Amino acid sequence: MQNSAISTRNSILVLAAIFIGISISLLDWRGLALWLGLATVIIFSVRSEYGILLGIALTALSRFLIIGINLQLADMAFLLFGPFWLIQRLYQARPISLKLEPAVAFLILGAATALCSFFVTSSFGVSLGNYVQLFYLVALTAILVVMFDDKKFLLAAMWIFVLAAGGISIYGVLGFFTGGARVIGTFDNPNVYSSYVIAIIPMAWALTKRIRQRTVKALIYILMAFMTMGLLLSLSRKGWIALALQIFFLAMCSKKRKLYIGVLIALLALTVILWPFLSTLLPEQIIDRALGFTSDSSTVTSRVKLFQISFDLIRAHPIFGVGLEMFSWYAPINSHSTWIGLWTEIGTVGVLPFIAALGIVSVGFLFWSFGRKEPDYIINALAASFFGLFFISQFGNIIFFRHFWIVLAMSIAALKQSGRGLRREEGVFPSQRAGHKQA
């Protein structure tokens, strides 16, 4: 009976979270007022990890999961939710780690340095709002790292991502077959959509490893199929390559890597052999887009030209850059590379801390994915999401895509949890061995 009551209460909390998130998305400031009122009551009254779901389920996530990538009132609500959440944990006398992770420290340093560079590069056309938004994204990441340190909170966020990405993909695929040119989901650009599902597909795979119910597993597999189909129909070639790299990475992390690598090679060989037949089944847009790598050199030429412009600007403004979001003043389009573009716009002193943070996360993932005998599906999935987004960032500007920062926060928190688990093992196992010796 007690378990049933807890399940009922948790279900009500989830529904309340969804209702509040939708109200914020549709009503803006009225939804914000509703959120603040109800969240204040529930956060202090609910002593359960699922109470945390109120703050994350389609509240701050609602805007950048469902529509657009601009700063909205829902984001401000999340910044206010962070302190409420911390107070709740302290009020319940539950352990909470406020230690500043090295990767987060570098992110904050990079954002602060970039903000300072505004006053050096300040000129007509440079918007302080861009710097503030970058600083906000780093603040969002720092808060989420603390929150995601609770594993149930992390899993709840992964579920929300998967369900939202699945719904968006179903909507996008249906739109494509009713006359759409490329799948964009609810976003304004197919490249934003492709980077979004690249981040979520590995998370869906990880959830299938944790779930035993066949119906729930089947639901996730269906959503994954729509995400993969949506990615294919988005005609994003860097998204296609990123997915292939993610599959290869997850195969390499598996204990049965030889078997999985063999299967992948066999599938690749079959694809090559059956290509004439497969090309008749695939939509013509996909064939043309895939063959565009060899038949159309304009894409490569334009990228090379953008990189040349970037390095010319870096040589001319090496320390503080030309100003955030100012690259388009020197070229017809954006830099089409997140980190080269950021180097151009905020200079060497601004970009180095961000690169250091990404390097710390990358090394951590490589250690936990290949340095441990038993695979951790959550770690491997987040590593695949992180590396997939990092690959896409080399060929597109994703610095203001909020799902990138959320995945980064998830990654840092998951690595933190793994490190804490390793220290706990090192502290327990020696004493156990000593006890056995005495016996």
Tens digit of pLDDT at every position of the chain (439 positions): 556 665 565 556 555 555 555 554 454 444 444 454 455 455 555 545 444 455 544 444 444 444 433 444 445 545 555 555 565 566 555 566 667 889 999 999 999 988 887 777 655 556 777 888 888 889 888 888 887 887 877 887 788 788 778 888 888 898 888 877 888 887 778 888 899 999 999 999 999 988 888 888 998 999 999 999 999 999 888 899 999 999 989 888 877 767 767 777 777 777 667 666 666 666 666 666 666 655 555 666 777 788 888 888 888 888 888 888 888 788 777 777 889 888 988 889 989 999 999 999 999 999 888 877 777 889 999 999 999 999 999 888 888 888 899 899 999 999 988 877 666 666 544 444 444 444 4
Q: How far apart are CA 150 and CA 409, in angstroms?
A: 12
> First-to-last CA distance in the chain?
44
pLDDT value of position 278 = 62
The alpha carbon dihedral of 396, 401, 406, 409 has a sign of positive
The answer to whether 139 and 392 are in contact (CB under 8 A) is: no
**Torsion sign over Cα 180, 181, 186, 188:** negative
Spatial separation of the C-alpha atoms in residues 267 and 131, rounded to whole Å = 46
Alpha-carbon distance of 260 to 269, in angstroms, equals 14
CA-CA distance, 290 to 292, in Å (whole number)?
5
Distance, CA of 151 to chain centre: 16
Say whether 296 sits in a helix, a strand or coil: coil
User: CA–CA separation, 68 vs 168, rounded Å?
Assistant: 13
Among 78, 26, 75, 28, which residue's Cα sits nearest to residue 52? Answer: 78
267/273 Cα distance (integer angstroms): 10
**Residue 99: per-residue pLDDT:** 76
Residue 95, Cβ density class (10 Å: 0-12 exposed, 13-18 middle, ≥19 buried): exposed
Give per-residue burial for 115-130: e unless 16+ CB within 10 Å, then b. bebbeebeeeebeeeb
pLDDT at 33: 47
Block residue for tokens 């009132």: 73
Of 364, 363, 366, 314, the residue nearest 339 (C-alpha): 314
Q: What is the pLDDT of residue 439?
A: 41
Q: What is the dihedral of CA 355, 359, 362, 367, to 10 degrees?
A: 180
pLDDT at 337: 84
Residues 287, 289: Cα–Cα separation, whole Å: 5
Spatial separation of the C-alpha atoms in residues 31 and 41, rounded to whole Å: 16
Q: Determine contact, residues 350/342, Cβ cutoff 8 Å.
A: yes
Tokens for 10, please give them: 């948790």
Q: Is the dihedral of CA 135, 137, 143, 148 positive or negative?
A: negative
